[in-house]
Amino acid sequence: MKILTVDDSDLVRMMLRNILEQQGHEVIEAENGQKALEMLQTHQDTDIVFLDWEMPVMNGYRFLTTVKDERRAENTKIIMVTSLNKMSNVLDALKAGADEYIMKPFTAEIIMTKMNSVF
């Protein structure tokens, strides 16, 4: 699978890359929602986006609503991966079209379990 990780933290992107590449997946990265939109245009075969909420330039929620409102990447699953742990954030993301929600910190097992649940 081709997977896009979107997070302003180099460390988080590196952790996700390591977990996903060990499972044989192709990983591409973006440091904010705006860059992620550009990546989706050039990588339309992206299967999953792991998306942080709090980022500069364009946050994850705005990215999510833009992708869903404009019907971009309709076959791409979006999993929020964030430290925002209020139930209202979870509900907002799911209502906006996120397929899953992971709270930081995460483990490889959590990443793989959530990923497998959307496919």
Sequential DSSP letters for 6-60? E-S-HHHHHHHHHHHHHTT-EEEEESSHHHHHHHHHH-TT--EEEE-S--SSS-H
At residue 52, the pLDDT reads 97
The residues of the chain scoring below 70 in pLDDT are: none
Domain ranges of the chain: 2-117
Q: Tell me the per-residue pLDDT of 1-11, one tens digit each, with 9 for 90 and over.
A: 999 999 999 99
At residue 114, the pLDDT reads 97
The architecture (CATH level 2) of 2-117 comes to 3-Layer(aba) Sandwich (3.40)
Q: Structure pTM?
A: 0.95
Distance of CA 12 to the CA centre of its chain: 12
Instruction: End-to-end CA distance of the chain: give it in Å, rounded.
Output: 11
At residue 31, the pLDDT reads 98
Tokens 């060990």 belong to 22
Query: Do residues 1 and 23 lie in contact, with contact meaning Cβ atoms separated by under 8 Å?
Result: no
At residue 85, the pLDDT reads 82
